Amino acid sequence: MLNLRKRILVAIDGSPHSDKAAEEAVRLAAGNQSQFKSIVYALLVLPNAPSSTYTDFVPSAPMTETEKWNDLRERIFYVVEKSANENAIPLEMIVEYGDPAEKMIDFAKREDIDVIVIGSSGKGFIQRRIKGSISHTVASTAPCSVYIVRG
C-alpha cells in the first residue's frame, strides 16, 4: 500500500479537548514519512450569528469582524499552529458558521478528507444548546475515518 499525502481535518473550539485533538492531528500528519507531506485543516465552527429582529436597526457584526477577533483567533488556533510549525506540517485554518457536526461532515466531503480528528467533549464556542454529542454525530455520519481523542 502506498503511503501518500493524507488530508486530516481537526475540529478546533478553544477547549483543552480540542487542543489535545489538534496535537494528535499534527502527530498523525508528522508520522507520514513519504515524500508527500500530509496537510492538516483546522476547522473552527462558530454558532450561527444571532438573527436580527424587526426591532434591531443595526444588526450586530459577525464575530470575525469584531475588534477582538484577531486576539481570540490567535488563542484558539495557538496550539495547532505551534505544533504544525514545530513539525513542518502544512496547516490551513478555516472558520465557518453553523452546526459543528454538519460543517465538519460537509467539509470532509468537499475536501476529500482522509480522517477527522475530534475531541471527545467540546466546550467553548460550541454551545451546549446543541443536544447530543457532536463527536458521536460526526463518527456515525462522516464519509471517512474518525479519530476521537479522549480527554
Q: What domains sit in the chain, N to C, each tagged with a CATH number?
A: 7-49+61-134+145-149 (3.40.50.620)
Among 116, 118, 107, 128, which residue's Cα sits nearest to residue 149?
A: 118
pLDDT at residue 56 in the model: 55
Would you state the pLDDT for residue 74? Answer: 84
- The label of the residue with cell 485554518 reads 93
d(CA 98, CA 71): 22
Q: In the prediction, which pLDDT does 51 show?
A: 54
Predicted model pTM: 0.79
Kindly give the confidence (pLDDT) of every residue in the chain, 151 residues in length, as a single tens digit, with 9 standing for 90 and above.
445 678 999 999 888 888 999 999 999 998 876 667 899 999 999 877 555 555 555 555 555 556 676 788 888 899 999 999 999 999 999 999 899 999 999 999 999 999 999 988 644 444 444 445 788 889 899 999 999 998 7
Task: List all residues 6 or more positions away from 115 whose beta carbon is below 8 Å from its beta carbon.
Answer: 6, 8, 9, 28, 144, 145, 146, 147
| Predicted local distance difference test score (pLDDT) of residue 44 | 93
* Confidence at residue 113, expressed as pLDDT on a 0 to 100 scale: 95
